[in-house]
C-alpha cells in the first residue's frame, strides 16, 4: 500500500532535531527514533493519520508497520482527531477521592458532551485520563501540554473561557520536549485539518447520564462514535 | 511554603525548595558535582564504589525494593557489548509523584547520580526514560543535561579522569506498562512497550541486546549521597545508614495524596511511623474526615484498614508484617465515606486499560474483574460474584510475563478481605449505599477551592 506523503514536510527546526536525535542512538538501532519523531510529527501536523505514519517511516527510515504499531499502542498519539483543546481530566484513584468525578460531571454539562467526545465546534475534547502524577494537587487536568492542578469548579469555568479566547498559537519553540534547542510546534489539530476529512467532529448530544448507563467496554467508558480511521487515504 | 526537612533527613531534597533550586549554579552551591569529581578523581575505583552501594543497603525505589548494588553486580564481567544504564522515570503508578519532584526541583542530583552509577558499573551511556505526559520534567531534564554538558559534568574525559559519560533524555508516549523494566527497554528501542519474558534479565540482555541496568530515579539520585558520605553503619548511625533500619536503609520519598491537609512529597527516614507522617508532616486529615483505609505504596499494593495503618512504620519489613508492601511510596489516604467498591472499580478500570495484552490471564482477567466490580457497584451482582471475583484474581497471580496482573489481583483480594461487608451490602441492597459517588472532601459542589499547599514550583506549569 503506498501512501502519498508529499503534502507533509517537517519545518527546518524539526529536521534539525531529527538529525540531533540520530546521533543519540546507535546507527544500527535507529528504530529508537520512532517515538520521538512520531511525537514531533504529531505536534507539527496536529494528528497521527496514515500519511503521518508513512511520513515518519520515511524520515528514519523504517518499515511503516513499525511506526503504525507504535502509533496505535501508546495513548498519547491521537490517531483519532481531537479538538483544539484536549481536556484530560485524571479520573484515577487519588483524583477521584478529591472530586475528579465532580469536575468531569461539570465539564460534561458545561460542554454538552460526554467523556470521550468532542464539541461540535471542534474546540474541546474531553477524556478521562489515568494518573498523571499530580495526585497531591488533585483534582487536576492536563490541557494539551499543560497541567492545571488544584481545580475548583470556578477555576474550570475560568479556564474554559480563557482557552476559548486564546487564539491558535504560533508554533512556540519551547513547546517541543524532545531535545535541546529550538523547534516549532502546532498546538493541536487546527480547524482545517479537522475539516479535511481526517477530522470527524462528533457532535455531542448534550444528554448527561451517570456512568451506570455506560457500558464497560474497553476502559469502562462509552466509546465515542468516531468513524473508523480511513487507512486507504 | 517549603517542606520541612524531617529529622534532618537530607539525601534528595536537602535544600529550600523554590523556583531557583534546579539550575546548575544552585546545585553547585550545595556541594553539587563535588562528589562525582572526587570519585572519578581517585576516591573510588569502580569496584569500590559498587561495594559502597552494596554496603549501603540501598534498595530499588521503583517498587520492587531489590538491592541496587546486588543488581549491578549481576552485570557480566567481560560484556560483549557496551553496558547501558537506563533511568526509569516513567512514574505512572497511581498515587506516585515523587520522581517528578526530584526531576523538577533537583535534576542535577539525578545527573550526578547517573555519572556515579555509570562509573561504578562500567557504563558510558545512560538513557533517562521519562513518561511523555511529564512535559515539565522533560524540558527541565533537557535543560539540566545541556547545562551539565556545557560545564563539563557530562561528555568525554570527565574531570580529566579518562571516563566518558553520555546522557540522553528519552520521552515515552503514554503507557503504564513502559514502567516495567523490560517493557521500558522495548519502548526505548522504538517498539510497543510489551514486557519481555525473563530470563534473560536486562543485566545480561537489555537495550539492543547489551547488558543493561534499569533503576528508578530515586535510587540513582541517592547514589550521590552514598558516594559522598559512605555507606556507614546502622548501629552507630553513620553515612547513608545514618537513617533507616538495618533492612531498610536510608531515607525515602513518600508522595501523599487523598483528603489530608497538606498532601505532597516528603522525605523521611525509613521506619518513620505512618501516624507521624500523616499527623505531623501532612497536618492530619481534612477537618471532619476520619481515616478509613490506606494504600501505602502506590495503587498496586494491598489496602489496609485505619487501625492497621496507624501501626505501620514506613519501611519494607513493617509493611510486610502488616500485610502490604512499601511499593513505590505512593501513599493514598482514603477517608471515611468512601465507597470501597467504587474505589476498587476505579483501580481495575486502570489496570484493564493498561494491560499490554500479551498474557491471557492478564488481558482477559483484568477485564473480567473490572466488569464484576462494576456490576457489584451498580447493584446488579449476585451473591456468589464476590467469590468468583476472588477466584479470578487468584488465577491471575504468578502466571504472567510481568507483575501487572498481580498488581491488579492484590488490591482486588485485599479490598475483599478487608472490606467484604461493603461488597455484600452492595449486593444485598441491590445498589450502592454511597449513591455511586465519591465524597466531596473539598466541597467542590459548594464552590470549594482546594488549598494551594505547595510551593509555586511544585505546581509546575511548563
Ligand atoms: C507494571 C509495572 C509498572 C512499573 N512502573 C514503574 C515505574 O513507573 N517506575 C519505576 O521506577 N519502576 C516501575 N516498575 C518497576 C520496574 O520494573 C523496575 O523494577 C524498577 O524500575 C527497577 O528500579 P529500582 O531497582 O531502582 O527500583 C514497574 C513494574 C511493573 C511490573
Ligand atoms: S502481565 Fe499483563 S501487562 Fe504484563 S506482559 Fe502480561 S499481558 Fe502484558
Ligand atoms: S490519581 Fe490523578 S494525578 Fe495521580
Q: What is the CATH classification number for the domain harbouring A183?
A: 3.40.30.10
Average pLDDT over residues A162-180: 58
Mean pLDDT of chain B: 92
Question: Tens of pLDDT along B184-213?
Answer: 999 999 999 999 999 999 999 999 999 999
- The pLDDT, as a whole number, for residue B7 is 44
**Residue B138 CA, ligand 3 centroid: distance in Å:** 19
Flag whether residue B133 sits within 8 Å of chain A, measured between CB atoms.
yes
A145 contacts B370? CB cut-off 8 A: no
By Cβ distance, the residue of A26, A98, A212 closest to B442 is A98
Topology of the domain comprising B24-242: Rossmann fold (3.40.50)
CB atoms within 10 A of CB B1: 10
Flag whether residue A103 sits within 8 Å of chain B, measured between CB atoms.
yes
A56/A152 same-domain check: no
The CATH number of domain B340-458, selected from 3.30.565.10, 1.20.1440.230, 3.40.50.720, 3.40.30.10? 1.20.1440.230
Cell numbers that stand for B229 in this block: 558520605
Cell numbers that stand for A233 in this block: 487515504
- The pLDDT, as a whole number, for residue B298 is 95
Is the per-residue pLDDT at A203 higher than 70? no
- H/E/C letters for each residue in chain A? CCCCCCCCCCCHHHHHHHHHHHHHCCHHHHHHHHHHHHHHHHHHHCCCCHHHHHHHHHHCCCCHHHHHHHHHHCCCCCCCCCCCEEEEEECCHHHHHCCHHHHHHHHHHHHCCCCCCECCCCCEEEEEECCCCCHHHCCCEEECCEEECCCCHHHHHHHHHHHHHCCCCCCCHHHCCCCCCCCCCCCCCCHHHHHCCCCCCCCCCCCCCCHHHCCCCCCCCCCCCCCCCCCCC
Q: Can you give the CATH number for the domain in which A68 is found?
A: 1.10.10.1590
Ligand 2 lined by B404 (C-beta under 6 Å): yes
B19-49 exposure pattern, b = at least 16 Cβ within 10 A, e = fewer: eebbbbebbeeeebbebbbebbeeebebeeb
Question: Tens of pLDDT along A69-105?
Answer: 999 999 999 988 888 899 999 999 999 999 999 999 9
Establish if A80 belongs to a structural domain: no
- The answer to whether residues A71 and A79 touch, using CB atoms and an 8 Å cutoff, is yes
Flag whether residue A71 sits within 8 Å of chain B, measured between CB atoms.
no
Average pLDDT over residues A107-113: 96
A204/A134 same-domain check: yes
Is the per-residue pLDDT at A217 higher than 70? no
Q: Whole-angstrom Cα distance, residue A129 to residue B196? A: 26
Question: Tens of pLDDT along A16-56?
Answer: 999 999 999 999 999 999 999 999 998 888 889 999 999 99
- Confidence class of residue A195 from pLDDT cuts 50, 70 and 90? very low
Establish if A114 belongs to a structural domain: yes
By Cβ distance, the residue of A93, A101, A137 closest to B454 is A137
B94, B291, B331: best to mutate for the A interface, most A CBs within 10 A: B94
A90/A64 same-domain check: no
Question: Which residues partner with B295 through β-bridges?
Answer: B332
- The pLDDT, as a whole number, for residue B33 is 95
Domain, as residue range, for A51:
12-73
- Give residues 165 to 194 of B whose Cβ lies within 8 Å of A: 168-176, 187-193
A66/A102 same-domain check: no
Q: Whole-angstrom Cα distance, residue B192 to residue B175? A: 9
Q: With a cut of 50, which residues of chain B have pLDDT below it? A: 1-8, 454-462
Establish if A153 belongs to a structural domain: yes
Q: Yes or no: is domain B251-335 CATH 3.10.20.600?
A: yes
**Residue B195 CA, ligand 1 centroid: distance in Å:** 12
Is the per-residue pLDDT at A176 higher than 80? no
- The pLDDT, as a whole number, for residue A227 is 34
A21/A91 same-domain check: no
Kindly identify which residue of chain A lies nearest to residue B444, measuring between CA atoms: A152
% of chain A beyond a pLDDT of 90: 52
- Give residues 42 to 71 of B whose Cβ lies within 8 Å of A: none
- The pLDDT, as a whole number, for residue A228 is 34
B146 contacts A35? CB cut-off 8 A: no
- The pLDDT, as a whole number, for residue A97 is 97
Structural domains in chain A (count): 2
- Confidence class of residue A169 from pLDDT cuts 50, 70 and 90? low
- The pLDDT, as a whole number, for residue B10 is 64
Q: How far apart are the first and last CA of chain A?
A: 10
Chain region(s) in chain B for CATH 3.10.20.600: 251-335
Indicate the top mutation candidate among B53, B86, B172, B179 to test ligand 1's pocket, ranked by most ligand atoms within 8 A of CB.
B179
A89/A69 same-domain check: no
Q: Whole-angstrom Cα distance, residue B326 to residue B296? A: 6
Phi, psi (rounded to 5 degrees) for B159: 50, 30
Cell numbers that stand for B245 in this block: 533500619
- Rg of the Cα trace of chain A? 18
Establish if A46 belongs to a structural domain: yes
A93/A41 same-domain check: no
Amino acid at each position: 500500500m503506498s501512501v502519498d506523503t508529499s503534502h507533509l514536510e517537517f519545518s527546518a527546526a524539526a529536521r534539525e532535531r531529527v538529525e540531533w536525535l540520530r546521533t543519540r542512538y546507535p546507527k544500527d538501532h535507529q528504530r529508537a527514533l520512532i517515538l520521538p519523531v512520531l511525537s514531533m510529527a504529531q505536534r507539527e501536523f496536529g494528528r497521527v493519520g496514515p500519511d503521518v505514519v508513512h511520513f515518519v517511516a520515511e524520515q528514519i527510515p523504517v518499515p511503516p508497520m513499525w511506526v503504525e504499531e507504535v502509533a496505535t499502542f501508546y495513548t498519547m498519539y491521537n490517531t483519532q482527531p481531537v479538538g483544539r483543546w484536549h481536556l484530560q481530566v485524571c479520573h484515577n484513584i487519588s483524583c477521584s477521592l478529591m472530586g475528579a468525578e465532580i469536575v468531569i460531571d461539570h465539564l460534561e454539562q458545561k460542554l454538552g458532551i460526554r467523556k470521550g467526545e468532542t464539541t461540535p465546534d471542534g474546540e474541546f475534547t474531553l477524556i478521562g485520563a489515568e494518573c498523571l502524577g499530580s495526585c497531591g494537587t488533585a483534582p487536576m487536568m492536563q490541557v494539551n501540554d499543560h497541567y492545571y492542578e488544584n481545580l475548583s469548579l470556578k477555576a474550570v469555568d475560568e479556564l474554559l473561557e480563557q482557552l476559548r479566547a486564546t487564539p491558535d498559537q504560533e508554533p512556540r519553540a519551547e513547546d517541543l520536549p524532545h531535545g535541546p534547542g529550538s523547534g516549532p510546534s502546532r498546538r493541536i489539530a487546527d480547524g482545517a485539518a479537522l475539516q479535511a476529512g481526517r477530522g470527524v467532529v462528533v457532535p455531542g448530544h448534550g444528554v448527561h447520564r451517570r456512568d451506570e448507563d455506560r457500558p464497560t467496554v474497553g476502559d469502562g467508558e462509552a466509546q465515542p462514535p468516531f468513524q473508523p480511521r480511513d487507512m486507504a487515504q | 511554603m517549603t517542606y520541612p526537612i524531617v529529622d534532618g533527613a537530607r539525601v534528595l531534597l536537602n535544600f529550600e525548595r523554590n523556583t531557583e533550586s534546579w539550575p546548575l549554579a544552585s546545585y553547585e552551591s550545595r556541594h553539587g558535582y563535588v562528589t562525582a569529581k572526587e570519585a572519578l578523581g581517585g576516591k573510588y575505583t569502580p569496584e569500590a564504589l559498587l561495594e559502597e552501594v552494596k554496603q549501603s543497603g540501598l534498595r530499588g525505589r521503583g517498587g520492587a525494593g531489590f538491592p541496587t548494588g546486588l543488581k549491578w553486580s549481576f552485570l557480566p564481567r567481560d560484556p560483549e557489548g557496551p553496558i547501558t544504564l537506563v533511568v526509569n522515570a516513567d512514574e505512572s503508578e497511581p498515587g506516585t509523584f515523587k520522581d517528578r519532584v526530584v526531576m523538577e526541583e533537583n535534576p542535577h542530583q539525578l545527573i550526578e547520580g547517573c555519572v556515579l552509577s555509570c562509573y561504578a558499573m562500567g557504563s558510558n551511556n545512560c538513557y533517562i526514560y521519562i513518561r511523555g505526559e511529564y512535559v515539565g520534567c522533560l524540558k527541565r531534564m533537557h535543560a539540566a543535561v545541556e547545562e551539565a554538558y556545557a560545564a563539563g559534568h557530562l561528555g568525554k574525559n570527565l574531570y580529566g579522569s579518562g571516563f566518558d559519560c553520555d546522557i540522553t533524555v528519552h520521552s515515552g508516549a503514554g503507557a503504564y506498562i513502559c514502567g516495567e523494566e523490560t517493557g521500558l527497554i522495548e519502548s526505548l528501542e522504538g517498539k510497543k512497550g510489551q514486557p519481555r519474558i525473563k530470563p534473560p534479565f536486562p543485566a545480561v540482555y537489555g537495550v539492543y541486546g547489551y547488558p543493561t541496568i534499569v533503576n528508578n530515579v530515586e535510587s540513582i539520585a541517592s547514589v550521590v549521597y552514598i558516594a559522598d558520605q559512605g555507606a556507614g553503619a546502622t548501629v552507630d548511625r553513620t553515612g547513608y545508614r545514618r537513617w533507616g533500619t538495618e533492612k531498610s536503609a536510608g531515607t525515602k520519598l513518600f508522595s501523599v495524596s487523598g483528603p489530608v491537609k497538606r498532601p505532597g512529597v516528603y522525605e523521611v527516614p525509613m521506619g518513620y511511623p505512618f501516624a507521624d507522617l500523616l499527623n505531623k508532616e501532612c497536618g492530619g486529615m481534612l477537618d471532619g474526615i476520619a481515616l478509613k483505609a490506606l494504600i501505602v505504596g502506590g495503587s498496586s499494593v494491598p489496602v489496609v484498614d485505619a487501625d492497621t495503618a496507624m501501626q505501620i512504620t514506613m519501611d519494607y519489613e513493617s509493611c510486610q508484617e502488616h500485610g502490604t508492601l512499601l511499593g513505590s511510596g505512593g501513599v493514598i489516604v482514603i477517608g471515611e465515606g468512601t465507597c470501597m467498591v467504587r474505589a476498587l472499580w476505579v483501580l481495575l478500570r486502570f489496570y484493564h486499560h493498561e494491560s499490554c495484552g500479551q498474557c491471557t490471564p492478564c488481558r482477559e482477567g483484568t477485564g473480567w474483574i473490572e466488569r464484576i466490580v462494576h456490576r457489584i457497584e451498580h447493584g446488579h451482582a449476585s451473591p456468589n460474584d464476590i467469590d468468583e471475583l476472588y477466584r479470578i484474581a487468584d488465577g491471575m497471580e504468578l502466571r504472567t510475563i510481568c507483575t501487572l496482573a498481580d498488581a491488579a489481583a492484590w488490591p482486588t483480594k485485599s479490598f475483599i478481605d478487608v472490606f467484604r461487608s461493603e461488597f455484600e451490602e452492595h449486593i444485598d441492597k441491590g445498589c450502592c449505599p454511597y449513591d455511586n459517588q465519591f465524597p466531596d472532601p473539598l466541597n467542590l459542589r459548594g464552590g470549594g477551592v482546594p488549598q494551594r499547599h505547595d510551593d509555586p514550583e511544585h505546581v509546575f506549569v511548563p
